Amino acid sequence: MENTNTDSVEKTGSRKPIVVRNGIVLSLILMGILLTVHFFDVGYMNERIALGNMVLLLVAIIVTQLEVRDKIFKGILPFDRAFGTAMMVVLIVTAIFSIFTLIFYLTIGKELLGQMREIAENSLRADGKTEEEIKESMQFTNHSFTPIGTFVMSLIGMLFFGTISALIASLFTQRRA
């Protein structure tokens, strides 16, 4: 029978400094991307940018797990420790980036929320929706495209995709003794 006790994994320090550093670095990169999109008006690439952000999150998780595995756990990283490390990165990035998103839409990007609501309404009209259907649909949209709404969507989205990325990365970076 295989020994699955992960408490016996030998450590040579704390993973916290590595996790915090990488989480902050990724958060700064994501903030830079958001500001670049805003100031250079490349919002037409939103889907690609969102996908790119998720790929960056996955890469940051893998890099962090590999560094923790090699420097802290002497080359051995059970799945639970890999997943825990990944979720620490996800939580740090989610907290920092979501707060930045809130501040961004309260200050710099105020007009963007109005533009997003307008785009959503025009899209509904282009789809041939009736005025009643548009009014109904826009109730949710008007609540979502507020600074608090984007903050909540950022929290939920980053946690959801971060958890999926953490699971995927942990499957590939785990290493047993």
Q: Domain map of the chain by residue range?
A: 13-173
Residue 78 confidence (pLDDT):
94
Residue 2 confidence (pLDDT):
43
Residue 41 confidence (pLDDT):
74
Q: Cα–Cα distance between 28 and 33 in angstroms, integer? A: 9
DSSP state of 43: G
Question: What residues contact 157, with CB distance under 8 A and at least 6 apart?
Answer: none
Query: Which pTM was predicted?
Result: 0.83
Residue 1 confidence (pLDDT):
39
Report the C-alpha dihedral over residues 93, 31, 51, 24, rounded to 10 degrees.
-30
Question: What residues contact 36, with CB distance under 8 A and at least 6 apart?
Answer: 42
* H helix intervals, the chain: 16-39, 46-71, 79-106, 110-126, 131-144, 147-173
> What is the mean pLDDT, run by run of 10 residues, along the chain of 177 residues?
54 91 97 87 74 94 96 92 96 96 89 80 82 81 85 94 96 88
Instruction: Please work out, in degrees rounded to the nearest 5, the angle formed at the alpha carbon of residue 84 by the alpha carbons of 13 and 166.
Output: 130
Residue 9 confidence (pLDDT):
66
Question: What residues contact 112, with CB distance under 8 A and at least 6 apart?
Answer: 38, 43, 105
Residue 7 confidence (pLDDT):
56
DSSP state of 147: H
Region for residue 13 given its phi and psi (left: phi exceeds 0; alpha: psi -120 to 50; beta: otherwise): left
Residue 3 confidence (pLDDT):
47
Residue 162 confidence (pLDDT):
96
Residue 127 confidence (pLDDT):
83
Q: Cα–Cα distance between 56 and 153 in angstroms, integer? A: 19
Residue 8 confidence (pLDDT):
59
Residue 47 confidence (pLDDT):
80
CB distance 175 to 77 below 8 Å: yes
